[in-house]
Structure 1
């Protein structure tokens, strides 16, 4: 599930919800609701997170376990 991936990747990078919310220019409570799966995250926001974490949308969506973005794969 997307909400699990965005929480896990944030925690793996030792970041707080507030730090990511600030990067996304949203309220921390809104970001918290994304991580709990209470509200759907927009594709635009997912793209920003994928760029921030240097990963793919497929990874964030749980379609692959490969974190490396497509542009960096050989």
Structure 2
């Protein structure tokens, strides 16, 4: 991961767009809230493992954080509650991970159909 500014900017946009607080994300990632604050300011980096967990939560792939030309294709699951608990975020991340895998499989099947 090279462009830390792109990564932190996109992360903050996803977090704010989902109405999640830094504290909620920090608890979900099992890190201190101040680390999220510093990350969003570009003062700290997150490990690939944590970024993958973030990708699961928001339904995107790592390429979204690496490539400024990559578009975010949101999942149809919405964050509608202002009182989401960590367990809720874990469930959303698990569902999004499955949905991302289905999206990937469908794109592979579409490519196979184009080649035939």
**TM-score normalised according to structure 2 size:** 0.57
Tell me the equivalent position of 1:44. Answer: 49
Q: Structure with the greater relative contact order (CA < 8 A, sep ≥ 6): 1 or 2?
A: 1
Give structure 1 regions of 4+ aligned residues with deviation exceeding 3 angstroms: none
Counterpart among 13, 27, 37 of residue 8 in structure 1: 13
The Cα offsets for residues 10-40 of structure 1, whole Å up to 9 and x where unpaired, read as 0010110000000000000011111111011
- Tell me the number of residue pairs that the alignment of Structure 1 and Structure 2 aligns: 74
Distance 1:38 1:6 in 2: 14
Q: Return the index of the structure with the highest Cα Rg.
A: 2
Contact 2:39 2:46 in 1 (8 A): yes
